[in-house]
Each structure stands twice: as structure tokens, then as C-alpha cells.
Amino acid sequence: MMSIRNSVRENPLVHLVLTTEDYVQAMTVDGRAWVAEVAGEVVGFSCGRLVQGDIWALFLRRAHEGKGIGRALMEIVEGWMFEEGVEEIWLVTAPGTRAERLYQRRGWVQQQMKESGEAEYRLARPPASR
């Protein structure tokens, strides 16, 4: 997963170095993660953190972009977080990216631009799942 995260074209890590411990904390203590596999190879992953109420990660290998894998991973992590009682999920992403367009298509609403230049998005729990 770290190799996928570190190889992305959009939303690269700029001022932050994530350690193995950061991944373990996010994916097992603060939240839960899912991977997508193709022919036994991990090609993408997502992670939602209940403690923070955020989508911590959604990343794919370049060769697997545009195939619906990101959408499927988002559907899973959003559904899990709402089932666990999160009322509103948030995330940040770079503006003008494929990821931003995915979030907008899924109903995420931009809230503000962060000082970092990233856009903050939020998604409210659907009334039917309350």
C-alpha cells in the first residue's frame, strides 16, 4: 500500500512522510482499510478512520485508474463509516484532480480551501441509513 501511495501522480505527499506505523494506526486502530486486487496484485486501497471521521486514503495504481475500482472502494468505506454511526465524513484532496471529480459525482460537497491549497469535502449520512 505504501508503494501505491508513494507512486501517485495526483495528491502526492509534499510535506509529510508517512511511516509503516502511521498506516497500521490508521488501518487497524483508528479505522479500517480495504484493498482491491487484480490477479493477486493489490492495485488500490481505501481507509476510513472512525476516530477522526475521515477518509484517510483512496489510492490506485496508475494502470488501474478509470476502471471503477476507486468508486467501488469509496462505496465500501462510506457505507461502513455510516453503518458505524458517523454522521458526516470529511476528506481533503487537491483541486482539479480525478479524485475530486469522483467525490463530486458521489455527492461530496466542497466546504473550504485549506491553507495547504487542498479542498475540504464533506458527505452527510443519507437519511435512509439513520
pLDDT at 18 (0 to 100) = 65
68 vs 4, residue with greater confidence: 68
Cα–Cα distance, 44 to 38 (Å, whole number): 9
Does the pLDDT value for residue 113 go beyond 60?
A: yes
Q: What is the mean pLDDT of residues 61-78?
A: 91
**Cell numbers standing for residue 90:** 470529511
Tens digits of residue pLDDT in 88-101: 999 998 898 888 99
pLDDT of residue 114: 82
Q: What is the mean pLDDT of residues 11-25?
A: 64
What is the average pLDDT across 25-34?
85
List of domains in the chain: 2-129 (3.40.630.30)
Between CA 32 and CA 42 the distance in angstroms is 16
> Edge to edge, what strands does the sheet with 31-38 contain?
31-38, 41-49, 54-60, 88-93, 119-124, 109-113
Task: Quote the pTM value.
Answer: 0.81
**pLDDT of residue 12 exceeding 50:** no
